[in-house]
Structure 1
Amino acid sequence: MTTPHEELLPQTRRALLHRLAVGQAEGRAPSMVGAVVRGGRIVWAGARSSVDGRTPDENVQYRIGSITKTFTAVLVMRLRDEGLLDLGDPLDKHLPGTGVGEVTISQLLAHTSGLVAESPAPWWERSPGSLRPALSDALGEQPFLHPVGRRFHYSNTGYSVLGSLVEKLRGAPWEQVLRSEVLEPLGLDRTSGLPQAPHASGWAVHPWADALLPEPAEDYGVMAPAGQLWSTAADLARFAVFLAFGDDRVLSAESVREMRVPASPGEVADVVGGSSYGLGLQVQDHDGRLIIGHSGSVPGFLANLSISVEDDVAAVVLTNCTSGPYTSVIGADLVRIVAEAEPRIPEPWRPLSEVDPALLELAGPWYWGTNGFALRVTDGAISLGPLTNGGRHSHFRSNGDGTWTGLESYFAGERLQVVRRSDGSVSHLDLGSFMFTRQPYDETAPVPGGVDPEGWRGIG
């Protein structure tokens, strides 16, 4: 069953339903809901079901597990943007007495804190949070497993710490802060800490028989910021739009872009597989397509949120079984189906409404040593990239004082300055001490190391 949306072609909608149906059948899932977002809204939703007496739709709640972590990370980024903390601050500066105060906020966000993955027994996802009344109960007597900052090690306890940090700085419970600062502004009315009808029941599926076992739905207490939330495909679709483009009521586009940047060193297997982690977001390469988002897994439920910012396509997959379907693969496939069947149509090219002569003067070829680069001016912004394939490329943001700051790759955060001669003409560009001149090793510019006075020559 699908919810009709006319924006996608019939064959695309059928391909999406087919992929969801195969995922539900092969994964032996009691039910599965999927949704696809494009242009800021849901353009397809579908579901398959065999239990609970009804086929769910995009407004039925499922538990989303670790997608909760992305919501917690948004709260922390809001604190940073308000100046209440710096991502490089040690935890002790804001939340003393935890016993893990040397770790930084960014290390907690990126899972490089060295903390253990799980709280001490019993298994926190199948036991009530009342067994862990304090943060110290979640961290245990030996909270560190690896040297701080040395490697990526996924840590649920790290996000329980971040939730406690939010509560300390806001003076209110984590879920209350989340509702007022994120859920309500974004209109996520069907996202909550405890289930609200209609919601799916969580099941375990017997690995060798088509039999079901109900899973408990515990309140995780202090571990809630790591995996507590229930949500719907429709709400997560709206959240996906926010993670792609930002919303100034919650976080700016620049801040959500920062969350998407890989922030943790990967294992060899991760490098081969094209997998990394940003600040509360997974970053993965799926067959050449960059997918950001998060997956979730708690007893009785699996979830996935996959976003291709470049394709302007996002997908949500929710199911109510402990294991079986690979929701991250299904989510990436839903994105791929739309992106390949109906490629994004670019906006029409338009000339600049106003031309800044000072910027126009900079446009064209530049050379770093003998490497050719092109500086392009588009809508008041500039980009600098190699004339041939490969090499360093970045867009630059104006600082308002005649200098520019790199936004990507090698030049991210580096300062670009236009250096002029005494007569006002441009001598060269200084980019983090790299000198770009109009000619290779321009003898009229102060090239580091100087230029041989005999100039260019042949071997003979």
Structure 2
Amino acid sequence: MCPRHPEPVPLAHPLPVLKEALEKVDHILRQAMSAPGVAAMSAVVIHNDTVLWTGNFGKKNGSDPASGAPNEYTMYRISSISKIFPVLMLYRLWEEGIVTSLDDPLERYASTFTINNPLGLASAPEQQGLMDRMASQLSGLPRRLRSTSLLWKGSTQEALNLLKDDVLVVDPGTRCHYSTLAFSLLAHVLAAHTAQGDYQRWVSENVLEPLGMADTGFDLTPAVRARLAAGFYGSGRPAPLYDLGWYRPSGQMYSTAADLAKLAVALLGSGPRRLLRPDAAKTLLAPLLACPGAYFANETGTPWEFHAQRGYRVVRKDGDLDGYAATFSLVPPLRLGLVLLLAGPRPPGPDLVTRAYDELLPALEGALREAEPGPAPPPSAHPFAGYFTFANLTFYEVRAGPAGELRLRQFGPRVEALVPPAFRTLALRHLHGRVFQLHVAREFPCTLPLGDAWLSLEAQHGQLVNFYPLDHHGLSPGFDVPGLNTYRVLRLQRKPVFKTQ
């Protein structure tokens, strides 16, 4: 059925259908606390700029029987969710003109970058380190620098020197391959071209402070450690809090459910503070390449993994680090977000976030379809009402509905023979001036059989109808529907009469 996604209109909470879905999410997560090593869990569900639900389970310190429960302000290590921030830096520097293009080669910003590519001998060397590939698991770079661990504390120049004698794992841009190295290298190289000259300082000044994410950062100070939920391995053994050194941009950060909710609202474009222009934000949340085979996601993007679920792309960034697991996820068409933070390993079995969305997606979709506003009426229907024709082939009547809204009815022998009555009349939603928008219905079949062809109702839904300037009688002489390549639909003086066979 269409439209495939409902409009993300504001909802009047609480709604019973959402309340029931959120209770099921609460039950799913509460049950997961019995998994080995899971000591604490905090989660938040966001719609538009509203927190719909928060859930906090377990104990902040699972080793202390007297420990209290966590809350949305409890800190957790967020591991690979940290990779969102180098990508935000890339996009912001692109908006500011410091990065001229998202597909600039890395060599433009790190002149000594080079790596052997025995798998793509025909490709140009400068294609091996394109910025958007570095930010989307398409760089082909190894997971880490040769002979290093996540605790390596070298410099960016040392990293570039190590890469000279290394080889790409896959030909860039051809296959999804997870690389922690790519994000750390991107962050350090770009930071050298900012006024701050330091990656962590840039993130603090350009992302964390503007969004009010005061409980998010990099340094595990004594004050931060005191607020962290204690992490555990699956065996129940406490996990150490180690520093990632040069790999910090890829996994060092800590945060809270409340802070990550602020980031979700900003990325969905729902709140007063935005990190990127709408066009850049749309690019950020779009997939770049399908990932067939054994890769753990359907598609990859910057820096996301995309998972197909119930007709939607769920935009996710998952992270797992000793003693902690985390997921940051968005469903942009619904302006929906879910953050899940765990002190302990990710529970075995069906994925918790997927199970949560199995409850949330149909509930929110149904609520939005029910809440969709009716077509807005124009100040006066008179200038637009009447009969119209396109080249004497198709005929239309525009008239006012019960609430003053305009309705466009197709009629004539051919239409009446082929098009079901329910879909001959479309609403005209007034936008401004003489411009309206076609609105088929809340739900409708995407296509209809039309003789030997098919009529796409999906293509009609949402198209703009531009009426001509009014004549001396105060009437519009006709209209265009540019999106359907339909022009000069002209007014008739009277209702046409058709000869019967």
Separation (CA, whole Å) in 2 of partners of 1:140 and 1:219: 26
How does 1:231-270 map onto structure 2 within 5 Å? 231-245=255-269, 249-269=274-294
Kindly provide the amino acid, as one letter, of the partner of residue 46 in structure 2. V
1:248-301 superposed Cα distances (whole Å, 9 cap, x missing partner): 65212322221111112422456xx87111221222112433211311111111
Kindly provide the amino acid, as one letter, of the partner of residue 379 in structure 1. L
In structure 2, relative to structure 1, the CA distance for the partners of 1:214 and 1:274 (3 Å cut) is closer
Structure 1 unaligned blocks of 5 or more: 1-5, 207-211, 366-371, 403-423, 440-460
Kindly provide the amino acid, as one letter, of the partner of residue 330 in structure 1. L
Give the alignment partner of residue 349 of structure 1, picking from 368, 374, 377.
374
Number of residue pairs the alignment of both structures matches: 390
In structure 2, relative to structure 1, the CA distance for the partners of 1:39 and 1:375 (3 Å cut) is closer
Separation (CA, whole Å) in 1 of partners of 2:250 and 2:291: 21
The aligned residue for residue 182 of structure 1 is 207
Check if 1:293 corresponds to 2:320.
no
- Which of structures 1 and 2 has the larger relative contact order (alpha carbons within 8 angstroms, sep 6+)? 2
SS in structure 1 of the partner of residue 201 of structure 2: helix
Separation (CA, whole Å) in 2 of partners of 1:289 and 1:428: 29
1:409-454 superposed Cα distances (whole Å, 9 cap, x missing partner): xxxxxxxxxxxxxxx999996x9xxx94669xxxxxxxxxxxxxxx
Separation (CA, whole Å) in 1 of partners of 2:463 and 2:145: 43
How does 1:138-287 map onto structure 2 within 5 Å? 139=163, 141-171=165-195, 172-195=197-220, 196=224, 197-206=226-235, 212-245=236-269, 249-269=274-294, 275-287=298-310
Give the alignment partner of residue 88 of structure 2, picking from 74, 93, 98.
74
The aligned residue for residue 63 of structure 1 is 77
The share of aligned pairs that are identical, in percent, is 21
What is the CA distance between 1:134 and its match in structure 2? Answer: 3.9
In structure 2, relative to structure 1, the CA distance for the partners of 1:353 and 1:313 (3 Å cut) is same
Q: TM-score, normalised by structure 2?
A: 0.66
The aligned residue for residue 28 of structure 2 is 19
Check if 1:306 corresponds to 2:329.
yes
1:316-373 superposed Cα distances (whole Å, 9 cap, x missing partner): 11112245357x9322333342344454333423427689x99xx99999xxxxxx9x
Separation (CA, whole Å) in 2 of partners of 1:188 and 1:394: 43
Separation (CA, whole Å) in 2 of partners of 1:233 and 1:129: 29
Kindly provide the amino acid, as one letter, of the partner of residue 170 in structure 1. T
The aligned residue for residue 120 of structure 1 is 146
The aligned residue for residue 97 of structure 1 is 112
SS in structure 2 of the partner of residue 351 of structure 1: coil
Q: TM-score, normalised by structure 1?
A: 0.72
What is the CA distance between 1:114 and its match in structure 2? Answer: 1.0
Give the alignment partner of residue 329 of structure 1, picking from 344, 347, 351.
351
The aligned residue for residue 379 of structure 1 is 431
Separation (CA, whole Å) in 1 of partners of 2:94 and 2:377: 35
Q: CA RMSD in A?
A: 4.1
Give the alignment partner of residue 338 of structure 1, picking from 360, 367, 371.
360
The aligned residue for residue 458 of structure 1 is none
Which deviates further from its counterpart, 170-179 or 46-55?
46-55
The aligned residue for residue 37 of structure 1 is 46
In the alignment, is the contact (CA less than 8 A) between 2:134 and 2:186 conserved in 1?
yes
Structure 2 unaligned blocks of 5 or more: 1-12, 116-125, 391-395, 397-407, 410-418, 420-425, 441-445, 449-454, 467-476, 489-501
Kindly provide the amino acid, as one letter, of the partner of residue 202 in structure 1. G
What is the CA distance between 1:233 and its match in structure 2? Answer: 0.7
